Homo-oligomer: A and B are copies of this chain.
């Protein structure tokens, strides 16, 4: 992997409490910059912090007085202290919905909550990670935001770049459905179709980063990845704050690359260290679709290594066959006493409808995966229904209408008369 630096980073970079990048494998530290792999062992880099010390109650008050978005947690993120004053997409502080109807159907008595990230600006959790990448790109003097994508990320990058004043150039497979192309293109950035599949798009992006053409470009999920990933910590912060500064007992999180799950665990650990929540055990559960279940397969087999799969599932936003953070996910699930499970496409669709019917939340397929896995784990006696449980919905059903369309439609079609209505047996 190429390690790239830009000349403007010779002056110290102001990314708030972010102190350095450290290698997740060997622990070596590096100055903050647009690098993502350890120069010694090629391990992934992550942000290391000088977190605020002092009275936890004062920090809580400061957070609670902040804006209704992720910038309320600026003291815990790799962003400058005045981040809320800069133009950005300002995602987060989405609803934590108390799902009493769903709890009744599933037999959960300890409290069931849906963390509903469809309320973000482009209606997926990707707005969180992109918003952080934008601030890193600004700090490093980049002028173009880029990524490879097959859906949610393209829209999130396009929208954030537009607001924040960056040029954007996003790469997608050339044969995506028209609806997805429109959602990504409407923000006015460059949207380039690559003749090939998603792997070809990724290879091309790596080539571009190493080429002079890519100078001044921030690829949110490549050379800005260490910063980008930190955005998922905000899900942990919000869940705990919205529960009244309390850790949930159980969390069910979808797995694509696995980054979101590992960063939520990191966020929970930070809250404990800072004294913002009481230290107590919590269990983290990972959710995959059966058609792309490399991590759940490894979990069930007791393996430490994740064997890549060729994805074949309707849950396309989770369809990463070779998840980079798979081994870390296995470690977290086992360490916390959780599990990794999968459901098939039919169960995904049933779970989307179950959530919609009980709570009025129309989830993306990834939300069907987490709700479906929650149901399966309760039935198997793995998830404890007497404990407080939070289930993530990371996207919006409007973006994956195809998943439910074949089995969702009119109850009846009738002539416009009360007699016809009565005859159709609908007058219950």
Contact = CB atoms under 8 A, between A and B. Distances in A.
Contacts of A159: 356, 360-362
Contacts of A203: 416
B121 A426 contact: no
A333 interface: no
A63 interface: no
A375 interface: no
A17 B20 CA distance: 56
Contacts of A412: 190, 192-193
A182 B409 contact: yes
A3 interface: no
B359 A192 contact: no
Contacts of A193: 410, 412-414
Interface residues of A, number: 80
A191 B201 CA distance: 42
Interface in A369-428: 396-399, 401, 404-405, 408-418, 421-422, 424, 426-428
A100 interface: yes
A2 interface: no
A81 interface: no
A162 B409 contact: no
Contact of A356 (B188, B405, B428): B188
B93 A162 contact: no
A174 B426 contact: no
Contacts of A358: 162
Copies, count: 2
B416 A195 contact: yes
Contacts of A100: 87
A178 interface: yes
A416 B362 contact: no
Contacts of A95: 90, 121
B428 A204 contact: no
Contacts of A181: 408-410
A128 interface: no
A352 interface: yes
Contact of A101 (B163, B356, B418): B163
Interface in A173-190: 174, 178-179, 181-183, 185-188, 190
A371 to B, nearest CB: 13
A411 B93 contact: no
Interface stretch (A25-33, A205-213, A245-253, A309-317): A205-213
A196 interface: yes
Contact of A182 (B183, B195, B408): B408
Interface in A78-121: 87, 89-90, 93, 95, 100-101, 119, 121
A303 interface: no
A32 to B, nearest CB: 26
B410 A191 contact: yes
B188 A401 contact: no
Contact of A426 (B163, B188, B192, B415): B192
Nearest to A167: B428
Contacts of A160: 360
A411 to B, nearest CB: 5
A101 B121 contact: no
A216 to B, nearest CB: 10
A223 to B, nearest CB: 16
A122 interface: yes
Given A183-B397, A194-B414, A396-B398, 14 more contacts: A89-B360, A119-B121, A122-B360, A158-B360, A159-B356, A159-B361, A163-B360, A185-B410, A187-B360, A194-B416, A201-B416, A204-B416, A213-B422, A398-B399
19 contacts: A68-B68, A101-B163, A121-B361, A123-B396, A159-B361, A179-B401, A183-B362, A186-B352, A186-B356, A186-B397, A187-B362, A188-B353, A188-B357, A190-B426, A192-B413, A192-B414, A192-B426, A194-B416, A207-B417
